[in-house]
């Protein structure tokens, strides 16, 4: 194989596909990047057991072929090459490639391309097509609520539902729940759980200034996503997602309407006085048109802020993980946030009038006021 291509394009392609490679590959061949020449293009692939990514770029192909080379060493080299173009030449006898750019020349050993699995493309049984701005919004407003705990894989993904002329994304770690819906027509009902890593990769590849459409095809327990010159194939997360609608209380006794930026600023400042780590606890009191936010630590001190709000119902004391509150406030489009509550320990619903299709539920923390 002998190819010449734009260094920047090759670097972007390698950076895109190598995110499919695990930090601890299940087999040594999965630590490599697979190059294939095809109709004047070069297809660059990387994969592991659960995710495969392919990216196709234009190249001047002097000799057809395929190679597998260490992802770590090639990606670092290509990223630091000085010249606009790069030529890669395979030497079958020495089992290596020569990488030339300007006056620079490097040699890298090859891996056995015969050991590399075929890229798992397929024709889906069903598919949906979503505009890029829609999927960006759906992911952005739900993915932060997903769990990072791989021991509970069901909650590390996002539930994607298509039904009743709308598409809904749902993320939860069992302590909080984010639900975002957008209008969507012309598809059979669908309910799948997509790994959050895959959705992050989709958003990362939606960088074109020209509006794009994202096609998601489904076959048994796999999805294939096509975005321009990038293809992602992933296993779905298997299991039954909890009935999230049952978590939303049917009615509320207490509501507080507050400026979202003012509340976010107060929470950020007050939480500085809480214990460090994942659980930064703030205490909130809602009463008579005011919201008081307090946090304290024996090692730091005490923080207290009072902000105005419009309240309905009796006084309520409730405590939260400050991060869980900040995450939703930073994702609301409207100026005002509405906190709907019942008791100190029942789920709290955070919404805004400007986004009726966006709901966030957070479970309070049991503390002594």
pLDDT along the chain (369 residues), means of 10: 94 95 91 93 94 95 95 94 92 94 93 93 84 94 94 93 94 96 86 94 85 88 92 94 92 96 96 78 94 91 95 95 95 95 95 94 89
**DSSP of 161-214, one letter per residue?**
EEETTEEEEEEE-SSEEEEEEEE--SS--EEEEEEHHHHHHHHHH---SS--EE
Rounded-to-integer distance, Cα 205 and Cα 213, Å: 12
> In CATH, what number does 2-115 get?
3.10.150.10
pTM, rounded to two decimals: 0.90
Cβ contacts of 244 within 8 Å, gap of 6 or more:
159, 170, 172, 177, 179
> In CATH, what number does 248-362 get?
3.10.150.10
Token look-up 């978590």 returns 247
Rounded-to-integer distance, Cα 191 and Cα 169, Å: 10
Q: Where in the chain is the domain with CATH 3.10.150.10?
A: 2-115, 126-245, 248-362
Q: Which pLDDT belongs to residue 278?
A: 62
The CATH superfamily of 126-245 is DNA Polymerase III, subunit A, domain 2 (3.10.150.10)
Rounded-to-integer distance, Cα 120 and Cα 141, Å: 30
Residue 299 in tokens: 């090692």
Rounded-to-integer distance, Cα 106 and Cα 225, Å: 35
Residue 57 in tokens: 């770029």
Rounded-to-integer distance, Cα 50 and Cα 195, Å: 10
């Amino acid at each position: 194989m002998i190819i010449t291509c734009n260094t920047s394009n090759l670097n972007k392609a390698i950076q895109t596909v190598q995110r499919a490679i695990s930090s601890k590959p299940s087999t040594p061949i999965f630590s490599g990047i697979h190059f294939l020449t095809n109709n004047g293009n070069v297809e660059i692939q990387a994969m592991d057991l659960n995710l495969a990514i392919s990216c196709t770029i234009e190249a001047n192909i002097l000799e057809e072929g395929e190679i597998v080379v260490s992802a770590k060493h090639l990606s670092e080299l290509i990223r630091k090459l000085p010249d606009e173009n790069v030529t890669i030449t395979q030497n079958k006898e020495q089992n290596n490639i020569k990488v030339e750019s300007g006056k620079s020349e490097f040699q890298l050993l090859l891996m056995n391309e015969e050991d590399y699995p075929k890229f798992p493309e397929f024709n889906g049984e069903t598919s949906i097509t979503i505009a890029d701005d829609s999927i960006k919004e759906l992911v952005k407003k739900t993915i932060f609520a997903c769990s990072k705990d791989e021991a509970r894989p069901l909650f590390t993904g996002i539930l994607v539902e298509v039904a009743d002329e709308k598409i809904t994304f749902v993320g939860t770690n069992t302590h909080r729940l984010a639900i975002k819906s957008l209008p969507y027509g012309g598809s059979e009902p669908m309910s799948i759980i997509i790994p959050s890593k895959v959705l992050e990769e989709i958003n990362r590849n939606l960088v074109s200034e020209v509006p794009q459409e994202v096609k998601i095809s489904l076959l048994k327990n796999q999805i294939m996503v096509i975005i321009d010159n990038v293809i992602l194939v992933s296993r779905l997360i298997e299991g039954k997602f909890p009935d999230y609608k049952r978590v939303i209380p049917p009615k509320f006794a207490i509501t507080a309407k507050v400026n979202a930026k003012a509340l976010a600023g107060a929470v950020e400042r007050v939480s500085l006085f809480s214990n460090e780590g994942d659980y930064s606890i703030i205490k909130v009191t809602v009463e008579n048109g005011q919201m008081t936010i307090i946090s304290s630590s024996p090692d730091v001190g005490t923080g207290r802020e009072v902000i105005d709000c419009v309240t309905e119902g009796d006084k309520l004391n409730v405590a939260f993980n400050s991060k869980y509150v900040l995450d939703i406030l930073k994702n609301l489009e409207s100026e005002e946030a509405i906190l709907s509550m019942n008791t100190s320990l029942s789920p709290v619903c955070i919404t805004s009038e400007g986004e009726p299709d966006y709901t966030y539920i957070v479970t309070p923390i049991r503390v002594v006021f």
